[in-house]
Amino acid sequence: VNILVSGASGLIGSALVPLLQTAGHTVSILVRSTPNNTGAVKQIGWNPDAGQLDATALEGFDAVVHLAGENIAGGRWTPEQKHKIKESRIKGTTLLAETLAKLSQKPEVLVSASAIGYYGNRGDVLQTETSTGATDYLGLVCRNWENATEAAREAGIRVVNSRFGIVMSPKGGALAKMLPPFLIGAGGPLGNGKQTMSWVALDDVVGALLHCITNQSVRGPVNVVSPNPVTNAQFSKVLGQTLFRPWFAPVPSLAVKLLFGEMGDALLLSSTKVAPVVLQETGYQFRYPQLDGALKHVLGK
């Protein structure tokens, strides 16, 4: 089938595009730079900031996967950065959804990224797709980001809001940031280590996205997390063992807050225990359901 991907240069997109091609699909990507059409993947230009997207170029796709947005963990959450994180998602998603809604040949499905930040800091209470959303900064960003797909839903497009957990890949994201201290034996649990981390292996992220594209009964919010979340202390232990660096020292909460500010509080110390109910009920088989297997694979151990 014909699939369009936004944010294709990111951590998830750069794994998704080759998988889709290997599975025999024709992939085009939305790029914010000037399109360069010398390669195998067709590029279509857009400028989500300026509200520019050529509708005629979007006619006839079967599926659209929307991953674009300012990196959430890219740096300290200054007021400007928080504005960028929110605006890039709401503007870009609204523009894409409204453009798709007006097409004469609409896609069957729009899979639009969201995050488990939707649920906020919930201790060890298990969150499912029907749990209520948080009203903190990230919770509201996620809610507005999901609501921005409404025009597509109203136009009859099947919309999936994929709420990604903490994606495990050595190439980027949370794990890449955690590796350096662990490799020198200085990594350890953050804060009291009791916060739950709902992690997911990158292979399962792309597997789940393919499942959402091809499975017509999947719609609405979908938690893309492994079925076995762990506490931060358990995570640190397994990561240390995988790297053969079993010694670790805890990093106090205050240090995390000083180093990362509000972002550290929201992403590293907050506890969100999430279950992949929709994926499991619709028959998705996880390739890496357990953390030790996932980390061994991801880290090539």
Ligand X SMILES: NC(=O)c1ccc[n+]([C@@H]2O[C@H](COP(=O)([O-])OP(=O)(O)OC[C@H]3O[C@@H](n4cnc5c(N)ncnc54)[C@H](OP(=O)(O)O)[C@@H]3O)[C@@H](O)[C@H]2O)c1
Q: Report if residue 53 touches ligand X, rule: CB under 6 A.
A: no
Residues 67 and 145: beta-carbon distance below 8 Å: no
Round to whole Å and give the CA distance between 161 and 119: 14
CA 219: distance to chain centroid? 17
Applying CB under 6 A, does 144 fall inside the site for ligand X? no
Q: Which of 86, 215, 106, 90 is nearest to 153 (CA)?
A: 106
Contact between 166 and ligand X by CB under 6 A: the answer reads yes
- Are residues 261 and 200 in contact, defined by beta-carbon separation less than 8 angstroms? no
**Binding-site member from 53, 115, 230, 256 for ligand X (CB under 6 A):** 115
Binding test (CB under 6 A) with ligand X, winner from 4, 58, 64, 68: 68
Q: Is 167 in the site for ligand X (CB under 6 A)?
A: yes
Q: Based on CB atoms, which residue is closest to ligand X, 138 or 251? A: 138
How many Å apart are CA 164 and CA 162, to the nearest integer? 6
Contact between 142 and ligand X by CB under 6 A: the answer reads no
- Residue 236's alpha-carbon distances to 110, 177, 182, 195, 287, in angstroms, are 36, 13, 9, 12, 22
Task: Provide the residue type at 239 as one letter.
Answer: L
* Position 139 contacts ligand X (CB under 6 A): no
Q: Which stretch binds ligand X (CB under 6 A): 150-158, 161-169, 188-196, 269-277?
A: 161-169
Rounded to whole angstroms, how far apart are CA atoms 93 and 145? Answer: 7
Q: Which of 25, 32, 153, 194 binds ligand X (CB under 6 A)?
A: 32
What does the CA dihedral 126, 131, 136, 138 come to, rounded to 10 degrees? 80
Terminal-to-terminal C-alpha distance of the chain: 35
188 close to 248: Cβ distance less than 8 angstroms: yes
| Nearest CB to ligand X, comparing residues 17 and 256 | 17
Q: Which residue is nearest to ligand X (CB)?
A: 10
Q: How far is CA 116 from the centre of its chain?
A: 8
Pick the stretch among 68-76, 102-110, 246-254, 286-294 that binds ligand X (CB under 6 A).
Answer: 68-76
What three-state secondary structure class fits 223? strand
Closer residue to ligand X (CB): 8 or 294: 8
- Nearest distance, CB of residue 137 and ligand X, angstroms: 14
Segment contacting ligand X by CB under 6 A, of 64-72, 101-109, 265-273, 275-283: 64-72
Residues between 171 and 210 with contacts to ligand X, criterion CB under 6 A: 172-174
Residues 79-98 within binding reach of ligand X (CB under 6 A): 84, 88, 92
Task: Please work out the total of residues on this chain that contact ligand X, with binding judged by CB under 6 A.
Answer: 27
Residues near ligand X, by CB under 6 A: 7-13, 31-32, 48, 67-72, 84, 88, 92, 113, 115, 164, 166-167, 172-174
